[in-house]
Structure 1
């Protein structure tokens, strides 16, 4: 005869089935939660990375939009050239040479223009910029001469020969021609004045107030018009 299950047995069996079903549901739910949590975590991480990349891209675009970044190489060369103004002044002071040397200045301009013409860089822009560098250097030299005249104790007692300094200046001027060519679009653009203001306000380690004043002169004629 078939075995007859009592009411108690049926209830126990059903409860066991329900318990197993609930346990399975809990396990599946936990697994699903883990998957969702993992997915959400990965998605949040991806979004964070995307946002960071977008921020960098936007910042880079802004730099190029206002032209400031494109003038950095010129700014660095301007600072290097001005750093040589002090030894030039010291040499001229001790040798009693005048600050202004028209023949030498014209030779410097002519050489830079010749390099620009050969390399396909706007010669008029190069001439403006190189003349501005000469004027900026003279700002430093004149300021130092004034100080030394009023305070002889501060005047130099030794200095390098100008013949040793001029090749360094020539090298910087050649590099300037290349940098000017790379940034020539900025000089003829409406964003030029803003980009130049950024470079004028740029901080250079070790630069004193006289040299910072000269930096403003060095950028005075970069923008067209």
Structure 2
């Protein structure tokens, strides 16, 4: 199948990276009083995305919707991992990554790269058959590259769904 030069694969790959970082976020929070839900941090992420979208000249509401999907799917992964680790404590992480120094810098890097990729794919994204085909191809490529399990696959699909919405 045809995929445009500026296809969605780099963007979907970034979404997979962000979904996989949810494992570290969950590991940092599991067994502590820190809840999965962090409305203050989520608002910061969405506000930052809106500012960056405006600066990049891309649709702000669409960008915020995309970023909201990222945070929601990250929570899906975290909840899934909490459930897994609670049922199988032997699978629980033995190390707790530091959110501020280890995880958030990676998330911030991905945020900036997301904006670049959203700008580069403006002509591909939208409610069209072309977008849905490009997204399907990109999702398959990304799944093969990262070898995602069911939980992460489901989260990735939810994270990229707004691209063709």
- Could you tell which deviates more after superposition, 181-190 or 104-113? 181-190
TM-score, normalised relative to structure 1: 0.66
Higher RCO, 1 vs 2 (CA within 8 Å, ≥6 residues apart): 2
Q: Deviations over 1:177-215 (max 9, x none)?
A: 110011112223522222222223332234322211211
Q: CA RMSD in A?
A: 1.8
Deviation at residue 133 of structure 1 after TM alignment: 1.0
Aligned equivalent of 1:145, options 82, 85, 91: 82
| Residue 128 in structure 1 maps to residue 72 in structure 2 | no
| Residue 198 in structure 1 maps to residue 132 in structure 2 | no
Q: Deviations over 1:96-141 (max 9, x none)?
A: 3111111111110110110110121111221111111111211211
Counterpart Cα distance in 1 of 2:7 and 2:62: 16
Conserved in 2, the CA contact under 8 Å of 1:89 and 1:145?
yes
Within 5 Å, give how 1:1-225 maps onto structure 2. 62-64=2-4, 70-164=7-101, 165-188=103-126, 190=128, 191-202=130-141, 203-224=144-165
Conserved in 2, the CA contact under 8 Å of 1:187 and 1:223?
yes
For residues 182 and 175 of structure 1, do their structure 2 counterparts lie closer, same or farther at Cα, with a shift above 3 Å needed?
same
- Could you tell which deviates more after superposition, 85-94 or 195-204? 195-204
Counterpart Cα distance in 2 of 1:95 and 1:71: 37
The gaps in structure 1 that reach 5 residues or longer are 1-58
Structure possessing the higher radius of gyration over alpha carbons? 1
Q: Deviations over 1:22-56 (max 9, x none)?
A: xxxxxxxxxxxxxxxxxxxxxxxxxxxxxxxxxxx
Counterpart Cα distance in 2 of 1:183 and 1:146: 36
For residues 102 and 139 of structure 1, do their structure 2 counterparts lie closer, same or farther at Cα, with a shift above 3 Å needed?
same
